[in-house]
């Protein structure tokens, strides 16, 4: 499936920003099951400083604000050809040892909520079946809702809230899978929802490492494994490591953010 | 401890005569008036106060800045003794750099089963952001301090490796300056190898590790956390001696893909940053977001090849005292040779049998935190009270992974000058090593630390130790 993506993020600031930086993880890579035909990032109100590959093989762009800006806008546009691999991403590549994905992070630290969730899970006959069961169990226990309390919830806060957005679902899955001994990681990317061109936001899901199969994706919020409508952009131990945009700035004043995202089949 | 066990005295032989390396010095010393030496000693202290060389002692609010006591009796090492030591250090430092590269790449040493994976996986000093990163010139640890102790004429042990941020080199330089100033006649009598080239060598060594982005003569700067840091004096001193800029985080920002410092003529890119700020604080964008000391985005520029950080982030894993216990294996794995310098036998309390042994023999052992430094949080069994032993027993039982234990070594002694004359005190030695792609340079001597309390084996300046000038004789 050929997906055409146009993704614009605009930040407005109440007062001019004297100095600021943003780290972008917004470049999908060609890999098995995914071919990037072309991809461009344009920055208005800032400039590209450096570009490198991080430890998870994500391409990172560091952008600095043009001094005194009150608005910075990042526009990604491109086309990606995706094939349906039933969520199977394949073996671990590069230098990152698998044990790194067993480390918990501040956002995925398992507490009583995760432990209870894992204890209540009926395991399947295979690892794969168990992980699918986990995904369904999470969705049943913590249903999807667009009503997000905060963007940086820990897994325990999300479970306590009783409902979750895709980011929280991915974190809960990662935390629970690690509890069960599976290396697991966070994926940020794009999903073409079949019924619309304008998408609400970029998407997130989780991957677990299954012996024999390698990395397999699980989209808890949608109750499936990623198919040809999913574009993988960045992976990390949690949201903070894979966030499409993270940054810092000097200066006071409030900011607001506006996202416009179109994903459509060509 | 007062039964005077057979400690190796580096100056005096059992018959009362001097050992070879001290012969000429001792000849001079015998003719000196003790009163004049004490006067010189007071003069030295005044000199140090004047230059402002101080050291903050954490946990002692009454004395935020304290002078490290200096003893005027030098510690003397023969040229041929030194040659063996330097060969051992060089081998060790090569192995450390190879280990760091391996740990952040293929981890062959783990695959080969020589170091268990959990030693890396559970290590807080392992920095995932360094995975796959090869620093400019392939050097991870540009400046190393290898702490040595001596137990006999030919017996040196490595006590610990300081691959992350070895401090104290300014004392090595100031101690020599002071001795030259006070006893010029001595240095014409005894041929001592110079240490004064260190700042020049440091600059050369750092410059040799400049990143690809560097154009022309490398710009070197020293990054300090600021005046409240215990080693601020040293940061300022080294920058001055090297002819490099002394900068703080807020002086730097990302400009045109480089890290640049504010100057009167605008921003100037820095090629090599000798940073004296810990990994976690160096970049609030990539590490601790609350850090006010670092430079946002410096890790991004580093990973893109725009700057050299010395020492490289993530080198702290080599300072871990549990990793230390694997150094003989690490040296053999990467160099194919047996370690020239001995490791102190080390019990890893994470291993149940070792823990049992340690708990059973606590009063005879030295227990250290695996991530500790500066002599904080350690137990010297033979000198500990019953209450201290009990406290440590509880700590060990609660968190065995956090500790290693070593036998109490019979550290050599060198006399210090007291009001009552010469008196032997235990010493260690930190030589300073500079690593660049084309050479490993070891300054002859280093910093001798001396436990000023009679019988004490803890030489750390943070624990009340003093220093001595260290002489390596010309052959």
- In this structure, is the dihedral angle defined by the CA atoms of residues B86, B89, B91 and B93, taken in order, positive or negative? negative
Contact yes or no for A133/A121 (Cβ under 8 A): yes
Q: How many Å apart are CA B220 and CA B201, to the nearest integer? A: 13
Is pLDDT above 60 for B129? Answer: yes
Put simply, the answer to whether B121 touches A100 (Cβ < 8 Å) is yes
Q: How many Å apart are CA B352 and CA B358, to the nearest integer? A: 10
- Which pLDDT tens digit goes with each residue over B423-456? 999 999 999 999 999 999 999 999 999 998 888 8
Question: The domain spanning residue B247 has which CATH number?
Answer: 3.40.50.11290
| Min Cα–Cα distance to chain B from A50, Å | 5
Contact list, A23 vs chain B (CB under 8 Å): 285, 297, 300
In this structure, the answer to whether residues B153 and B222 fall within a common structural domain is: no
The DSSP string of B333-359 is: HHHSS--SSEEPP-EETTSHHHHHHHH
In this structure, the answer to whether residues A44 and A157 fall within a common structural domain is: no
Contact yes or no for A108/A185 (Cβ under 8 A): no
Q: Is B325 a domain residue?
A: no
In this structure, the answer to whether residues B83 and B171 fall within a common structural domain is: yes
In this structure, the answer to whether residues A168 and A60 fall within a common structural domain is: no
Q: How many Å apart are CA A164 and CA A79, to the nearest integer? A: 30
Beta-carbon pairs below 8 A across chains A and B: 75
**Which is nearest to B243 in space by CA: B292, B193, B207, B268?**
B207
Contact yes or no for B424/B414 (Cβ under 8 A): yes
Mean pLDDT of chain A: 94
Q: Which residues pair with A214 in a beta bridge?
A: A210
Mean pLDDT of chain B: 91
Between B308 and B14, name the one with better pLDDT. Answer: B308
Among chain B residues, the shortest Cα distance to A51 is held by B304
Among chain B residues, the shortest Cα distance to A19 is held by B253
| Min Cα–Cα distance to chain A from B470, Å | 44
Contact yes or no for B97/B138 (Cβ under 8 A): yes
When pLDDT is averaged across residues B11-38 and rounded to a whole number, the result is 93
Q: Is B9 a domain residue?
A: yes
Pair type for strands B272-275 and B308-310 = parallel
Q: Is B238 a domain residue?
A: yes
Is pLDDT above 90 for B57? Answer: no
In this structure, the answer to whether residues B4 and B63 fall within a common structural domain is: yes
**Which is nearest to B362 in space by CA: B396, B317, B330?**
B396
- Can you give the pLDDT at residue A236? 97
- Which pLDDT tens digit goes with each residue over A142-181? 999 887 767 789 999 999 999 999 999 999 999 999 999 9
Contact list, A100 vs chain B (CB under 8 Å): 121, 128, 131
Question: Which of B105, B110, B118, B257 is best to mutate for the A interface (most A CBs within 10 A)?
Answer: B257
In this structure, the answer to whether residues B237 and B296 fall within a common structural domain is: yes
In this structure, the answer to whether residues A25 and A104 fall within a common structural domain is: no
Tell me if the pTM is above 0.90: yes
Q: Is B37 a domain residue?
A: yes
- Choose one of B362, B379, B408: the last residue of a domain: B408
| Min Cα–Cα distance to chain B from A19, Å | 9
In this structure, the answer to whether residues A117 and A226 fall within a common structural domain is: yes
Among chain B residues, the shortest Cα distance to A248 is held by B285
| Min Cα–Cα distance to chain B from A266, Å | 35
- In this structure, is the dihedral angle defined by the CA atoms of residues B159, B164, B167 and B172, taken in order, positive or negative? positive
Nearest by CB to B131, which of A64, A95, A246? A95
Q: Which of the 8 DSSP states describes residue A7?
A: E
Contact list, A97 vs chain B (CB under 8 Å): 107, 110, 117, 120-121
Q: Is B340 a domain residue?
A: no
- Which pLDDT tens digit goes with each residue over A46-87? 999 999 999 999 999 999 999 999 999 999 999 999 999 999
- B188: which residues sit within 8 A by CB, 6+ positions away? none
- Can you give the pLDDT at residue B309? 98
In this structure, the answer to whether residues A45 and A101 fall within a common structural domain is: no
Among chain A residues, the shortest Cα distance to B290 is held by A248
Contact list, A247 vs chain B (CB under 8 Å): 285
Among chain B residues, the shortest Cα distance to A241 is held by B286
Residue entry with tokens 């010393």: B29
Q: What is the largest CA-CA distance in chain A?
A: 59
Question: Which of B254, B284, B307 is best to mutate for the A interface (most A CBs within 10 A)?
Answer: B254
In this structure, the answer to whether residues A189 and A122 fall within a common structural domain is: yes
In this structure, the answer to whether residues B38 and B168 fall within a common structural domain is: yes
Residue entry with tokens 């930040």: A11
Nearest by CB to A50, which of B130, B284, B306? B306
Put simply, the answer to whether A52 touches B106 (Cβ < 8 Å) is no
When pLDDT is averaged across residues A201-222 and rounded to a whole number, the result is 95
Put simply, the answer to whether B300 touches A60 (Cβ < 8 Å) is yes
Contact list, A95 vs chain B (CB under 8 Å): 104-107, 131-132
A149 burial (CB, 10 Å; 0-12 / 13-18 / 19+) is: middle
Put simply, the answer to whether B300 touches A62 (Cβ < 8 Å) is yes
Q: Assign B44 a pLDDT band (cuts: 50, 70, 90).
A: confident
Is pLDDT above 60 for A208? Answer: yes
Q: How many Å apart are CA B120 and CA B130, to the nearest integer? A: 13
Q: Which helix (H) or strand (E) holds A158?
A: helix A155-161
In this structure, the answer to whether residues B163 and B55 fall within a common structural domain is: yes
Q: Which of the 8 DSSP states describes residue B125?
A: T
Question: The domain spanning residue A110 has which CATH number?
Answer: 3.10.620.30
Put simply, the answer to whether A52 touches B304 (Cβ < 8 Å) is yes
In this structure, the answer to whether residues B401 and B426 fall within a common structural domain is: no
Contact yes or no for A59/A112 (Cβ under 8 A): no
Task: Dump strand ranges (E) for B270-374.
Answer: 272-275, 308-310, 342-343, 347-348, 365-369
The DSSP string of B83-116 is: HHHHHHHHHHHHHHHHHHHHHTTT-HHHHTTSS-
Q: How many Å apart are CA A74 and CA A38, to the nearest integer? A: 17
- Can you give the pLDDT at residue B64? 47
Put simply, the answer to whether A55 touches B284 (Cβ < 8 Å) is no
Query: A202 in helix, strand or coil?
Result: coil
- Which pLDDT tens digit goes with each residue over B376-387? 678 988 888 999
In this structure, the answer to whether residues A107 and A210 fall within a common structural domain is: yes
Put simply, the answer to whether A95 touches B132 (Cβ < 8 Å) is yes
| Min Cα–Cα distance to chain B from A104, Å | 11
In this structure, the answer to whether residues A111 and A73 fall within a common structural domain is: no
| Min Cα–Cα distance to chain B from A101, Å | 10
Contact yes or no for B450/B414 (Cβ under 8 A): yes
Interface of B with A (CB under 8 A): 104-107, 110, 117, 120-121, 128-133, 253-257, 284-285, 289, 296-297, 300-301, 303-306
Contact list, B133 vs chain A (CB under 8 Å): 55
Contact list, B287 vs chain A (CB under 8 Å): none
What is the number of other CB atoms lying within 10 angstroms of the CB of residue B10? 22
Provide the number of structural domains found in chain A.
Answer: 2
- Which pLDDT tens digit goes with each residue over A116-141? 999 999 999 999 999 999 999 999 99
Q: Assign A193 a pLDDT band (cuts: 50, 70, 90).
A: confident
| Min Cα–Cα distance to chain A from B303, Å | 7
Contact list, A49 vs chain B (CB under 8 Å): 254, 256-257, 297, 300-301
- Choose one of B364, B387, B408: the last residue of a domain: B408
The DSSP string of B392-452 is: HHHHHHH-GGGEEEEE-----EEEEEETTEEEEEEEEEE-EEEEETTEEEE-SS-EEEE--
In this structure, the answer to whether residues B468 and B373 fall within a common structural domain is: no
Rg for chain A, CA atoms, rounded: 18
Is pLDDT above 80 for B462? Answer: no
Rg for chain B, CA atoms, rounded: 22
In this structure, the answer to whether residues B269 and B136 fall within a common structural domain is: no
Q: Look at chain B and count its residues.
A: 475
Q: Which of the 8 DSSP states describes residue A164?
A: B
Q: Which domain holds residue A22?
A: 2-82+245-265
**Which is nearest to B275 in space by CA: B213, B319, B231, B321?**
B231
In this structure, the answer to whether residues B414 and B403 fall within a common structural domain is: no
Contact list, B130 vs chain A (CB under 8 Å): 55
Q: How many Å apart are CA A7 and CA A75, to the nearest integer? A: 6
- Can you give the pLDDT at residue B210? 97
Task: Dump strand ranges (E) for B234-282.
Answer: 245-247, 252-255, 258-263, 266-269, 272-275
A152 burial (CB, 10 Å; 0-12 / 13-18 / 19+) is: exposed
Put simply, the answer to whether A54 touches B303 (Cβ < 8 Å) is yes
- Choose one of B355, B390, B408: the last residue of a domain: B408
Q: Which domain holds residue B389?
A: 345-408
In this structure, the answer to whether residues B3 and B80 fall within a common structural domain is: yes
In this structure, the answer to whether residues A104 and A36 fall within a common structural domain is: no
Is pLDDT above 60 for B388? Answer: yes
Put simply, the answer to whether B128 touches A55 (Cβ < 8 Å) is yes
Contact list, B285 vs chain A (CB under 8 Å): 21, 23, 246-248
Q: Which residues of B294-308 are buried (b: 16+ CB within 10 A; e: fewer)?
A: bbbbbbbbbbbbbbb
Residue entry with tokens 């695996």: B370
Question: Which of B213, B297, B306, B317 is best to mutate for the A interface (most A CBs within 10 A)?
Answer: B297
Question: Rounded to the nearest 10 degrees, what angle do helices A112-119 and A166-179 cross at?
Answer: 70
When pLDDT is averaged across residues B303-314 and rounded to a whole number, the result is 97
Contact list, A64 vs chain B (CB under 8 Å): 254-255, 297
Provide the number of structural domains found in chain B.
Answer: 3
Is pLDDT above 80 for B366? Answer: yes
In this structure, the answer to whether residues B62 and B186 fall within a common structural domain is: yes
Q: How many Å apart are CA A231 and CA B463, to the nearest integer? A: 58
Query: What are the structure tokens assigned to A156, written together?
Result: 């325990």
Give the Cα-Cα-Cα angle B155, B157, B162 (nearest 5 degrees): 150
Task: Dump strand ranges (E) for B163-280.
Answer: 220-223, 245-247, 252-255, 258-263, 266-269, 272-275
């Amino acid at each position: 499936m050929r997906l055409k993506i146009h993704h614009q993020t605009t930040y407005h600031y109440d007062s001019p920003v004297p100095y600021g930086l943003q780290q972008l993880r917004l470049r999908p890579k060609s890999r098995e099951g995914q071919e990037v035909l072309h991809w461009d990032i344009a920055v208005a109100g800032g400039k590209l400083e450096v570009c490198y590959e991080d430890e998870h093989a994500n391409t990172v762009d560091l952008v600095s604000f043009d001094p005194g800006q009150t608005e910075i806008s990042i526009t990604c546009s491109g086309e990606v050809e995706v094939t349906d691999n039933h969520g199977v991403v394949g073996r671990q590549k590069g230098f990152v040892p698998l044990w790194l994905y067993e480390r918990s992070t501040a956002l995925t630290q398992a507490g009583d909520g995760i432990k209870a969730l894992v204890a209540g899970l009926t395991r399947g006959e295979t690892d794969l079946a168990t992980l699918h069961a986990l995904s369904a169990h999470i969705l049943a226990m913590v249903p999807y809702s667009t009503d997000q309390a905060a963007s940086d919830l820990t897994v325990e806060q999300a479970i306590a809230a009783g409902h979750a957005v895709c980011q929280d679902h991915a974190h809960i899955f990662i935390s629970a899978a690690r509890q069960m001994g599976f290396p697991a990681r966070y994926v940020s990317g794009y999903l073409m929802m079949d019924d619309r061109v304008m998408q609400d936001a970029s998407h997130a899901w989780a991957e677990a490492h299954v012996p024999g199969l390698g990395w397999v994706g699980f989209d808890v919020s949608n109750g499936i494994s990623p198919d040809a409508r999913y574009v993988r952009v960045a992976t990390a131990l949690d949201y903070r490591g894979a966030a499409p945009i993270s940054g810092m700035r000097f200066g006071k004043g409030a900011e607001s953010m506006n996202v416009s995202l179109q994903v459509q089949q060509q | 401890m007062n039964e005077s066990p057979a400690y190796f005295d580096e100056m005096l032989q059992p018959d009362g005569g001097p050992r070879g390396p001290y012969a000429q010095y001792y000849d001079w010393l015998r003719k000196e008036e003790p009163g004049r030496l004490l006067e010189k000693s007071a003069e030295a202290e005044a000199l140090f106060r004047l230059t402002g060389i101080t050291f903050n002692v954490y946990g002692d609010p009454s004395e935020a800045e304290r002078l490290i006591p200096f003893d005027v009796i030098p510690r003397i090492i023969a040229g041929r003794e030194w040659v063996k030591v330097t060969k051992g250090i060089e081998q060790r430092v090569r192995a450390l750099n190879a280990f760091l590269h391996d740990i952040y790449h293929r981890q062959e040493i783990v695959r080969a089963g020589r170091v268990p994976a959990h030693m890396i996986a559970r290590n807080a000093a392992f920095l995932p952001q360094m995975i796959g990163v090869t620093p400019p010139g392939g050097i991870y640890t540009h400046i190393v301090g290898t702490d040595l102790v001596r137990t006999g004429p030919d017996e040196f042990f490595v006590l610990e490796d300081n691959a992350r941020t070895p401090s104290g080199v300014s004392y090595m330089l100031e101690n020599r300056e002071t001795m030259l100033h006070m006893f010029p006649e001595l240095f014409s009598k005894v041929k001592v190898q110079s240490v004064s080239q260190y700042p020049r060598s440091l600059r050369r060594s750092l410059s040799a590790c400049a990143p690809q982005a560097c154009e022309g003569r490398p710009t070197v700067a020293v990054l300090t956390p600021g005046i409240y840091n215990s080693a601020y004096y040293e940061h300022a001193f080294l920058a001055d001696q090297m002819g490099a800029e002394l900068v703080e985080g807020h002086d730097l920002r990302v400009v045109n893909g480089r890290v640049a410092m504010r100057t009167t003529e605008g921003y100037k890119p820095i090629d090599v940053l000798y940073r004296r700020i810990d990994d976690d604080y160096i970049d609030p964008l990539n590490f601790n977001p609350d850090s006010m000391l670092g430079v946002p985005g410096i890790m991004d520029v580093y990973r893109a090849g725009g700057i050299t950080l010395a020492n490289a982030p993530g080198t702290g894993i080599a300072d871990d005292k549990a990793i230390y216990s694997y150094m003989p294996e690490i040296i053999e794995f990467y160099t194919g040779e047996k370690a020239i310098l001995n490791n102190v036998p080390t019990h890893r309390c994470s291993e149940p049998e070792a823990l049992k042994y340690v708990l059973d023999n606590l009063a005879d052992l030295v227990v250290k935190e695996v991530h500790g430094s500066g002599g904080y949080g350690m137990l010297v069994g033979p000198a500990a009270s019953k209450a201290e032993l009990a406290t440590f027993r509880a700590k060990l039982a609660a968190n065995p992974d956090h500790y290693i234990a070593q036998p109490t070594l019979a550290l050599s002694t060198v006399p210090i000058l007291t009001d009552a004359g010469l008196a032997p005190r235990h010493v260690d030695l930190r030589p300073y090593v500079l690593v660049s792609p084309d050479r490993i340079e070891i300054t002859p001597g280093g910093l001798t630390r001396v436990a000023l309390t009679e019988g004490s084996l803890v030489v750390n300046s943070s624990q009340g130790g003093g220093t001595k000038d260290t002489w390596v004789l010309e052959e």
